[in-house]
Amino acid sequence: MDKYPKPMTKNITQKILNQIGNSVYKINEKNRKFFTGFLCYIKYQNENIPVLITTYKGINEKYLANKNSVDISINNENIRLEFGNINYLNQSLDLSIIEIKENSYDNLKFLELDDCLYEKDSELLYYKETIYIIHYNDIDKNNYVSYGVLNDINGSELICSCNINSDSNGSPIFNIYNNKLIGIYKNTSNYYAKGIFFKFVIDEFIKEFKNTKNNFKYNKNMETKENEIKILINIEQKDIGKNIYFLDNFEYEDNMGIRH
């Protein structure tokens, strides 16, 4: 079994350099501390849903209760992203996935998901494969890339041998052979770097997406029903084609001359 990262081609290296410079954003929201964030599309049926992925510490329920946008920066350029209606927040995983509106991401770079993530038992395809993590160091303010080997995937957890010593939760993890996303860096133990397998991310966000859409349809149907009255009328054969009147559709006078 491979214990070390495999060699890379010049083309792969050039793509990595482009991703470092253009695809991993900084979110500066709390006491000038930077949180890592990146953009990608999550596919569901015929839709490509644009999302921002970052840490729960960076964007959570409290943040969303007060703001409907976030400022991100890259190469000293600040960009404001407006949020959509769907989000998945997980405090224990330190993970937030936020839908963003289409009119808020012109000229931004989206990372690509590995197509294998949508296949059954896709975790078996990555065993002992070479990976890399793009991360930001808050101490020296530089971007780094760390290479490693994927040792195991257990449910939502991805475990790899990788030298990364910065607080880089939320950084993207890539399959080195196609430069596409397969995970999100979480933390480093004494022996391994840990992350979140992106298939889990896709499944959880799609659940939230479907729940939100179903609730929206239900609420719209309830609003329609509140303005409707359904009446079952028994009409005899001889009355077919005649006008039908309902109580209170016309005024009349009773024997006392009172108009109703």
| Residue 192 resides in a domain | yes
| Residue 67 resides in a domain | yes
| Residue 229 resides in a domain | no
> Residue 31: which pLDDT band, with cuts at 50, 70 and 90?
low
User: Which residue segment(s) compose the domain that 153 sits in?
Assistant: 10-200
| Residue 158 resides in a domain | yes
Give per-residue burial for 143-162: e unless 16+ CB within 10 Å, then b: bbbbbbbbbebeebebbbbb
CATH of the domain at 137: 2.40.10.120
Helices of type H across the chain: 10-22, 61-66, 198-226
| Residue 18 resides in a domain | yes
Q: Specify whether the backbone of 31 is left (phi greater than 0), alpha (psi in -120 to 50) or beta.
A: left
Helix (H, G, I), strand (E, B) or coil at 96: strand
* 45-84 pLDDT, tens digit each: 888 999 999 999 989 999 999 999 998 888 778 888 999 9
Q: Please tell me the total count of domains within the chain.
A: 1
The sign one gets for the Cα dihedral 181, 170, 107, 61 is positive
| Residue 241 resides in a domain | no
| Residue 181 resides in a domain | yes
Q: pTM for the full model? A: 0.78
| Residue 207 resides in a domain | no
Q: Residue 195 in contact with residue 150, Cβ under 8 Å?
A: no
